[in-house]
Amino acid sequence: MTLMSSNTQTDTKPEQNALGFSLPRTVASRIGIVDDALRVEKYLYTSLVALTKRQMHAIELQDTNLLLRVLTERQTVVDKLVAQHKCFKPYRNVWDQLVDGFDESTRARIEKSIDELRTMAEQVADADEKAAETLKSRKSAVQEELLGAQKTRTALNAYGNKKTGNTARFQDTQA
């Protein structure tokens, strides 16, 4: 193995860490792993933010079918995000070893990307909370309307048991 610099090695044979997980030896390979993971997560979180906006729009329109379609799309993105997190978990467990040797500009770029992901995750969580509150208040309003209708029906029934519209006034019979 020949060392070319403190950050680059020509030997790409993985090294074992304390957890028994193999990390690529070259800094460039490790940067590639982190960049790829961050790129995928950014794409998924961007999709999730957009779907969250569509979800709120569907709630505002009170369009249940649209809301269900958006929620289905959203679940697909969430499933992909969970899978991405599972794939990257071994690297998170050895983060210090993974980023060992990254130069300051690379570390700053990665930290900025991670901060952007956190911001997007917070946006999604905040929007979900707002959507849940909106749906809960709409549910309460519908319950109050139904209760009001039931009270009206009860009051009308108090005046007598007149059947209106439930029986036919005329009958077709053959003689």
- What integer is the mean pLDDT of 144-171? 66
Higher-confidence residue: 163 or 39? 39
Tokens of 142: 């519908």
Q: Name residues whose C-beta falls within 8 Å of residue 85's C-beta, 6 or more positions apart in sequence.
A: none
Q: Judge whether residue 56 has pLDDT over 90.
A: yes
Residue 44: its pLDDT value, please? 97
Mean pLDDT, the chain, rounded, equals: 81
Q: Judge whether residue 8 has pLDDT over 50.
A: no
What confidence category does residue 46 fall into, taking pLDDT thresholds of 50, 70 and 90? very high
Give the tens place of pLDDT for each residue, 112-144. 999 999 999 999 999 999 999 998 887 766 666
Q: Judge whether residue 7 has pLDDT over 70.
A: no
- Please give the Cα distance from 71 to 81 (Å, whole number): 15
E-strand stretches of the chain = 15-16, 22-23
Q: What is the DSSP letter of 23?
A: E
Contact between residue 2 and residue 10 where contact means Cβ atoms under 8 Å apart:
yes
Which range has the top average pLDDT, 2-16, 23-37, 107-121?
107-121
Q: Judge whether residue 13 has pLDDT over 70.
A: no
What confidence category does residue 12 fall into, taking pLDDT thresholds of 50, 70 and 90? very low
- How is 113-140 classified by DSSP, letter by letter? HHHHHHHHHHHHHHHHHHHHHHHHHHHH
What confidence category does residue 55 fall into, taking pLDDT thresholds of 50, 70 and 90? very high
- What integer is the mean pLDDT of 47-62? 94
Residue 151: its pLDDT value, please? 66
